[in-house]
Structure 1
Amino acid sequence: MADALSREHHLRRRAERVKEALEALWGDELPDAPDPVLTVLVDAVAVDDQQGVDERLVVQGDGLGYEALARVLADVRSSATLHLVPPALRARLAGVLPTAGRLVDLRISGPAALPSEATGAWEYDATADTLAWDARSGTLYGLGPQPGHAPLPQWLARTVHEEDRAPVSSALRSSASTGLPCEVRFRVLPPHHGVVVARGRVLTAPDGRARVLGFAAEDVVVH
């Protein structure tokens, strides 16, 4: 309710500013034009658009500022940055994410990069609640050098240290439901005794099914 009231207040205040500008322009009389009503409407749109420019909004209805858009484009991996996008716009953007046939490479450069030569790929299907992995990930998980798939609870029981299962499950499901990237670090069950860091990003298929695609690598900084 609070969000709806806030939006209504914003729209009313926006309309009031347009009205004030038109009254300053035309007073109480309609403009002397062949179609005075159309002229007023055109002026109203122009005034509203100029107010958006003055307030540094990319799209007036979304309330998205240039600075926020620049930060989103500069660092789409940051959950905090993605939250700068208004919820309605973020929901619409989810519909134009790459489809199921395209893989997003999360092996970024810099200190946060996963080592590409030792990186495995994985996929979490939120609708089926299953995890699939390639041969390299199978090795990292201690399941052998072959691809596989399993229900998430079964994969957690076979792979992840008991104390790390809840955080891993929560990160995957939260990412699928919010559309935000995820990053998890977990210990693998003996006898592998490894520590894995995984990073994933959500793709939404045209049918609305959410999938988290990502890469995993051994955490080489283990204390």
Structure 2
Amino acid sequence: MAGLFYIQEASSMLPPSALYAGEDNDYEAVLDMAAAPGSKTTQLAALMENSGVLVANEFAASRVKVLHANIERCGVRNAALSNYDARVFGGWLPEQFDAILLDAPCSGEGTVRKDPDAMKNWSLNSTAEIAATQKDLIESAFHALKVGGNLVYSTCALSPEENQQVAEYLLETFGDAVQVQSLQTLFEGAEKATTSEGYLHVFPQTYDSEGFFIAKFTKLAPVTAPTVKKNSVNFLLVN
């Protein structure tokens, strides 16, 4: 409660760690596209050493309050909160962010060991619907990313529909403009969960943890931004 630390599942800390893996990670502008409740947002702020600008976006208005509370509790000073459908960022702010974390809304079956109700409403139809949203979000994220910037996509789902197939959609959509960054050396023993593509697909039994999927991409070339139907807002980042 004093903000000295944030209790978080180990595998849930991997996406921000992946975003900051490597040498080229001196980010000035970072976007957390689906930020609530704020665990990864506060981790990103710590990695940024409370400098630059961290845009913490949350679509569900009911969750913005807890996101704000955690950011304030942990002493984060470089965050700007927003409440938008993250699908608009690609059109509103094309190529504005050095790094983007998309910890996407998902089916959540990776959390079943701590939450027995995680599979209560699971179905193939709901998985397909969520995967369609995830594809929209990752496309928006790539448009909002600067050339040379890094994007991390993650879920706490276990199915390929919400993980590998979403990553493959990004690669098919943008071709030579996107490159996969292997996460095989992210931590000691990471090779046990690394796929042939270089993604991390952590199953609960691998490390005695929650299930998680993490993929990292670099933008190699500019792409034409989409036209957003909604009116833009006065929300600009200074380069």
Does the pair score TM above 0.5? no
With structure 2 as the length reference, what TM-score do the two structures score? 0.25
* TM-score, normalization by structure 1: 0.26
More helix by share: 1
Higher relative contact order (CA 8 A, sep 6+): 2
Greater Rg, structure 1 or structure 2? 1
